Amino acid sequence: MKSHVRSICRHAIHLGLAALLASCGSDAMTSPPSNWVLTMADEFDGAEGSPPNPAIWSHDIGGDGWGNQQLEYDTNSVDNVSHDGQGNLRIVAREESFRGNDYTSARIKTENLFEQRYGRFEARIKLPAGQGLWPAFWMLGADFDQIGWPETGEIDIMEFRGQQTNSISGALHGPGYSAGESFFSSYRLPEGETFTDDFHVFAVDWDPGQIRYWVDSEVYQTLTSSQIRERGRWVFDHPFFVLINLAVGGGFVGPVGQNTEFPAEMLVDYVRIFERAP
């Protein structure tokens, strides 16, 4: 039944049918469909245990900390990233010794497969709880390999500290405003709610000179080129690619807590990317 409903919803997205989308429940996008044209979508409807679609996703593999003192070794194993057979992609962090690291996980990206300048980038995700868990949905400039970071620019659509279960953040990094000097804002759920109990939609609307950050149907941060230029250069007028990962440890979240449970699982219901309708 779920696969049939998801098929109807995908059809609605492609055609921009607002009335049909309204019947799609939590799988529907939260922004007005008439404003956007779909350019890429992965609904993660693969068979249980199958890897991410290689036409959309590749893997960052390694365990050198990624410049953030992360503790995991990121692999391309289906033990760390695979479809769950229920319409989700699961990224699993495991406590296990592997190539000198004490944890394994996964980090996937659309680099050289799908890159876009401007648009709406959104994903519906359920996050894991635990001190030292660091899931993220983010973007890097497509010229990253040529000019490096932070000159290429980084758009953090969603970052989460597993020990702060009711709060996420979004940020921009670039020359003059990177790492701890980034433009940064947090979004907090109402008292008693957490991002680990259910799925939520995380998105940015990226236009020339402006990026707006969403959680579900609420905008919580707007950053403009004039704000950025007070500290550095605006570097967000070229194509970017998407990354999704579940890090373990690192400067953003601190050490792993004694009570953090493994395996820890990040579930991604979908990723959808749009451009402004003409």
Give the CATH number of the domain where residue 193 resides.
2.60.120.200
Active site residue 159: yes
Contact between residue 168 and residue 159 where contact means Cβ atoms under 8 Å apart: yes
Of 28-37, 74-83, 222-231, 266-275, the one with minimum mean pLDDT is 28-37
Whether 30 maps to a domain, the answer reads no
CA distances from 67 to 62, 63, 248, 250, 266 (A): 12, 10, 13, 9, 22
Are residues 38 and 273 in contact, defined by beta-carbon separation less than 8 angstroms?
yes
Q: Is residue 39 part of a domain?
A: no
Total domains, the chain = 1
Look up 48 and say whether it is catalytic. Answer: no
Confidence (pLDDT) at 11 = 45
In-domain check, residue 72: yes
**Token match 């670039």: residue?**
174
Only one residue has tokens 């057979």, namely 85
Return the pLDDT at 33.
57
Strands 264-276 and 167-173: unpaired
Catalytic residue among 72, 115, 159, 265: 159
Which structural domain, as residue segments, surrounds residue 107? 44-270
Q: Is there a domain that residue 34 lies in? A: no
Residues 6+ apart with CB under 8 A from 269: 26, 27, 43, 44, 87, 88, 123, 124, 125, 126, 199
Q: Which of 111, 115, 154, 265 is catalytic?
A: 154
106 part of a folded domain: yes
- Flag whether 18 is in a domain: no
Q: Is 3 left (phi over 0), alpha (psi -120 to 50) or beta?
A: alpha
CA dist 124 → 18, 80, 100, 199, 235 (Å): 19, 19, 33, 6, 27
73-119 per-position pLDDT tens digit: 999 999 999 999 999 999 999 999 999 999 999 999 999 999 999 99
| Nearest Cα residue to 46 out of 8, 6, 11 | 6
Quick check: is 55 in a domain?
yes
- The pairing of strands 240-248 and 133-141 is antiparallel
Asked if residue 225 belongs to a domain, the reply is yes
- pLDDT > 90? residue 8: no
